[in-house]
Chain A
Amino acid sequence: MIATAWTVARRELAAFFYSPIAYGIATIVLLLNGVFFYIYLSHPAVDGDLKQTIPFFYGGFLFYWFLALLVPPILTMRLFAEEKRSGTIEMLMTAPVTDAAVVLGKYAGVLAYYAALWLPSLLYFLLVRALGGEPDFGLVASCLLGTLLVGALFLSIGLFASACTSNQVLAAAAGLVLNLLLFFLPLLATLAIRPATKELLERFSIYEIVFSGFLTGLVDTAHVVYFVSLAGFFLFLTVRVVEARKWK
């Protein structure tokens, strides 16, 4: 199970390096991240204050969420949909591998790629230090953890969407819509009248959790559990969808 999941993960990770779309995404993410890092850093309001730049970069600013919501469904759209369209799923599922191993493997592969998109941002801070700045690497680590957990959740949703269709575009669109729903519904909390409702919604708001949690340098176990269990739930649903083929 672990061995086959690992095999699938390696294959999927490698496939990203053959995929023009993945290169496009990587270019855009790395380029824009670099540009925005520079903008944040040199913004007069921030005035070179790393304490503000770091959280800005990892979720304090709208641009981050544009990437966080949009990139995962594009990375995951291919994973099942394309196998179904091209028929390779038949080869995959008639090999002696469990459905769960395939789902986990694909997930691990895309998660590793997503992590690889964000890890270079560490370089920015190393560069800043080399240039004489003093970035708080504890804060960077907690922000990066938040980024990876948000990614883990949205990727699991994207994978689920991909398992539901054989059309990549549809998979990406469905993933994006689910992500947006999950992201924006709790933001309606600001409109809530009863304080209890408002508080409840805020507790489940991804933005709130990231903003007042990871971005402040505090890692709350409950927050980690929230993301991990939600991602686990969508992975479970994905396995179910993949299995459903067998019950038709």
Chain B
Amino acid sequence: MIEVEHLTKDFARTRAVDDATFRVEPGEIVGFLGPNGAGKTTTIRILTGFLPASSGAAAVAGHDVFRRSLDVRRRVGYLPENVPLYADLRVEEYLGFRSRLKQIPPRERRRRVEAAMERAAVLDVRRKLVGALSRGYRQRVGLADALLADPPVLILDEPTSGLDPLQRIEVKNLIQGLKGEKTILFSSHILPEVESVCRRVLIIHRGRILADGTPDELVAKLGGRVRYRVEFEPAPGPADAIRAALESVPGVLAAAPETPEPTSASFVLTAREGADPRIAVFRLAAAKGWSLRELAREASSLEELFARIALEMAPAAAADGGGPAAPGGGAP
């Protein structure tokens, strides 16, 4: 549905997108992650026909974004980053204007506007001036606009930024509710958020696509290994002994006490890629009679990933090109 090949975009002094190549299959929801200035918005603007690429090619819904821009724009619902809306119109007037601009047949307009307002939960502000809306509501009006023409592809630039946690969840649910129905590419800074909505994530940094895969794959590739945290209550014995026992569990590469004390009650396990040692750890604890208080997968933190990307730009990029990640890092 979205095909990007060797896309490069140069501004006067910066290369905002650098040889990016990726695909989004029909029906997929893909998260587009990267730190500030990574090139997310620029890539998205090229895909929506707002900016031209310097080189490379991109197609959305089977049409070249540059040569068949109108065909692309007819099939894409776009939520720009800062949600620029006409402040002088009321919400329903604005959506009415957009529905005419998007050439929705006159007889369907009312229905589509109502449906979009309902879906984006802006019915309660329909008579309000757009300029008087809070940030979150503006965002939702932007979402309603993106949904208006019922396009097969949605491209959303940071749909949850500036929202309070509750609204964040609502928007996440909205996107999740479109699963299977629409092809969605959305950008974000927040990995857990992306993780909860989509199976696949693209990571862009300094214009380069550094990683493309499931969140677990990315963590494995960029952040070393998936980690688990295990906590006992009380500490069952000398840290060294417990550590050795945990490391004997299949799939666990390393276990490290969280506190330097000789009798640590909690450990961080680094697991082999693809392995989930939690059941085995539970059985071990049960067999030994250790009382388990917590056993959880560590939320992979994007900040950590980005820090790593920034630090290990060259090796990470190399690893991206050639097979599984090189060992090193991971165990604290």
Contacts and interface: CB of A to CB of B under 8 A. Distances in A.
B139 to A, nearest CB: 13
A15 B70 CA distance: 26
Residue among A11, A19, A89, A96 having the largest count of chain B Cβ atoms under 10 Å = A96
Interface in A200-232: none
Contacts of B84: 86-91
A93 interface: yes
Interface in A3-62: 3-4, 7-8, 11, 15, 18-19
A183 B51 CA distance: 37
B101 A97 contact: yes
A96 B52 contact: no
Contacts of A86: 84, 87
Interface in A69-128: 86-98
Contacts of A4: 100-101, 103
B295 to A, nearest CB: 48
B52 A90 contact: no
B85 A18 contact: no
- Contact size range, A: 20 to 34
Contacts, number: 64
Nearest to A90: B80
Nearest to A18: B88
Interface in B20-66: 45, 48-52, 66
A19 B145 CA distance: 24
A87 B45 CA distance: 13
A194 interface: no
A30 B322 CA distance: 74
B98 interface: yes
Interface in B73-100: 73-74, 76, 78, 80, 82, 84-88, 97-98, 100
Most chain-B CB neighbours within 10 Å: which of A11, A19, A245, A247? A11
A219 to B, nearest CB: 36
A51 to B, nearest CB: 45
B50 A247 contact: no
A185 B62 CA distance: 53
B45 to A, nearest CB: 8
A246 B50 CA distance: 7
A7 B97 contact: yes
Chain B CB within 10 Å, residue with most, of A4, A91, A246: A91
B107 to A, nearest CB: 14
Interface string B101-119: 1110000000000000000
Contacts of A90: 45, 50, 80, 84
Q: Which of A19, A90, A97, A98 has the most CB of B within 10 A?
A: A90
B155 to A, nearest CB: 9
B96 to A, nearest CB: 10
**Most chain B C-beta atoms within 10 Å of own C-beta, residue among A8, A19, A95:** A95
Given A94-B49, A96-B74, A247-B52, A8 B101 contact: yes
A89 B49 CA distance: 12
B102 to A, nearest CB: 6
Nearest to A95: B101
B88 A96 contact: no
Contacts of B80: 87, 90-91, 94
Contacts of A19: 88
A219 B84 CA distance: 46
28 contacts: A3-B103, A4-B100, A4-B101, A7-B100, A7-B101, A11-B97, A15-B86, A15-B88, A18-B88, A89-B84, A90-B45, A90-B84, A91-B78, A91-B80, A91-B85, A91-B98, A92-B101, A93-B50, A94-B48, A94-B49, A94-B76, A95-B98, A96-B70, A96-B73, A98-B70, A245-B50, A246-B51, A248-B51
Interface of B: 45, 48-52, 66, 70, 73-74, 76, 78, 80, 82, 84-88, 97-98, 100-103, 145
Given A4-B100, A7-B100, A90-B50, 4 more contacts: A4-B101, A90-B45, A94-B73, A97-B101
